[in-house]
């Protein structure tokens, strides 16, 4: 990371986040078909959800992980954009009436509320598909060729990870579940894509197998911490602050960390997982300071 993002020797995370968000937004705009491209409805819907003001955490984690492994953010950018397309697809589908049935996401009406259910399903499908087209633009290495990259993305987004978590979440609604089942949901629904985000950054930097293992340990701990915090925010914040409907988990009788452990223990668990994420980064030394700052930022976030 350049000195441009430092104040008095520590990372100026606010400036870092703003600069990286803008970089990712510009690249996404280049990679996506224009809103006027035929059939315009689908491209408008894809862009509507993609440019609705998400935090761009997955792409930023991908870029920061590339830096932590001495890589260039430029080489990681197509992978960072592919991750945001997959994440946005999952949000569009999750909001559908047949899933979480939400009217509000990223501070605006959900995709299906504006474009109808059919176009929203297709916009999600198209974002998932274009993710692979965009990822194909990534710089590759003999150790991490396009096959390895595509396998990494497919497994994380597939029926044993992201979709497995969503299935367990749907099937668990209204039922009592224990801590191990809750961890399974969070590990797959949330932590898997976050882990793949940092792994892809490391792969774009031609990380050594040891570096990749270090980054994976960090991603798993950070991913779980992220979801514990998300569960806490769902019960402690307003819909306005979150940009999505607050209190939905309780209303849908979903098992969450606060409902299983209580709020105080959930906060302690988020802190413990963040410390675990920090500890995982130790072998990377100073190069990982942005990743450390990002883990702290996610722990303290309010939306």
Rule CB under 6 A: which residues touch ligand GRG? Answer: 54-55, 57, 87, 90-91, 93-94, 106, 162-163, 166, 189-190, 230
In the complex, minimum distance from the CB of residue 94 to ligand GRG, in angstroms, rounded to a whole number:
4
Nearer to ligand GRG, 90 or 204 (CB): 90
Closest CB to ligand GRG among residues 188, 214: 188
Distance CA 285, CA 287 (A): 6
Number of C-beta neighbours around residue 134 at 10 A: 23
Give 93 or 292: the residue with its C-beta nearer to ligand GRG.
93
Q: How far is the CB of 285 from ligand GRG (least distance, A)?
A: 28
Tokens of 162: 């992201």
Q: Nearest distance from residue 282's CB to ligand GRG, in Å? A: 26
CA-based nearest residue to 105, from 115, 90, 95:
95
Q: Considering the complex, what minimum distance in angstroms separates the CB of residue 149 from ligand GRG?
A: 20
If the CB atoms of residues 91 and 299 are measured against ligand GRG, the closer one turns out to be 91
Q: At what angle do helices 57-68 and 289-300 cross, to 10 degrees?
A: 150
Q: What angle do CA 207, 212, 215 make, to 5 degrees?
A: 120
Torsion of CA 299, 162, 252, 46, to 10 degrees: 90
First-to-last alpha carbon distance for the chain, in angstroms, is 26
Write down the least CB distance from residue 253 to ligand GRG, Å: 15
Our CB check for ligand GRG shows the closer of 144 and 226 to be 226
Tokens describing residue 166:
């969503």
Gap between the Cα atoms of 194 and 132, Å rounded = 17
| Nearest distance, CB of residue 251 and ligand GRG, angstroms | 14
Q: Where are the alpha helices (DSSP H) in 95-186?
A: 111-115, 117-135, 146-157, 162-172, 179-186
Q: Which is nearer to ligand GRG, 159 or 208 (CB)?
A: 159
The residue of the chain with the least Cβ separation from ligand GRG equals: 54
């Amino acid at each position: 990371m350049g000195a441009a993002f430092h104040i008095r020797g520590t990372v100026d995370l606010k400036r870092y986040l703003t600069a990286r968000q803008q970089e990712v937004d510009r690249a996404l705009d280049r990679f996506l078909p224009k809103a006027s491209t035929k059939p315009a409805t689908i491209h408008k819907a894809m862009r509507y959800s993609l440019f609705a003001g998400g935090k761009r955490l997955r792409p930023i984690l991908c870029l920061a992980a590339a830096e932590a492994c001495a890589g260039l953010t430029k080489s990681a950018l197509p992978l960072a954009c592919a991750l945001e397309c997959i994440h946005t697809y999952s949000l569009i589908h999750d909001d559908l009436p047949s899933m979480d049935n939400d009217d509000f996401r990223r501070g605006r009406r959900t995709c299906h509320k504006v474009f109808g259910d059919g176009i929203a399903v297709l916009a999600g499908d198209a974002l998932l598909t274009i993710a692979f087209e965009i990822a194909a633009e990534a710089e590759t290495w003999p150790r991490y060729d396009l096959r390895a990259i595509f396998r990494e993305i497919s497994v994380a987004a597939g029926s044993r990870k992201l979709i497995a978590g969503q299935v367990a979440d749907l099937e668990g609604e209204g039922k009592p579940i224990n801590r191990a089942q809750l961890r399974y949901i969070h590990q797959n629904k949330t932590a898997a894509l976050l882990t793949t985000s940092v792994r892809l950054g490391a792969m774009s930097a031609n990380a050594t197998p040891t570096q990749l293992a270090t980054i994976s340990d960090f991603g798993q701990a950070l991913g779980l911490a992220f979801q514990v915090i998300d569960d806490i925010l769902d019960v402690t914040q307003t819909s306005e602050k979150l940009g999505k409907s607050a209190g939905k988990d309780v209303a849908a009788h979903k098992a969450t960390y606060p409902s299983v452990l209580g709020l105080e223990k959930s906060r302690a668990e988020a802190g413990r997982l963040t410390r675990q994420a920090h500890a995982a980064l130790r072998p990377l030394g100073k190069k990982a300071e942005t990743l450390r700052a990002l883990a702290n930022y996610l722990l303290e976030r309010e939306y």
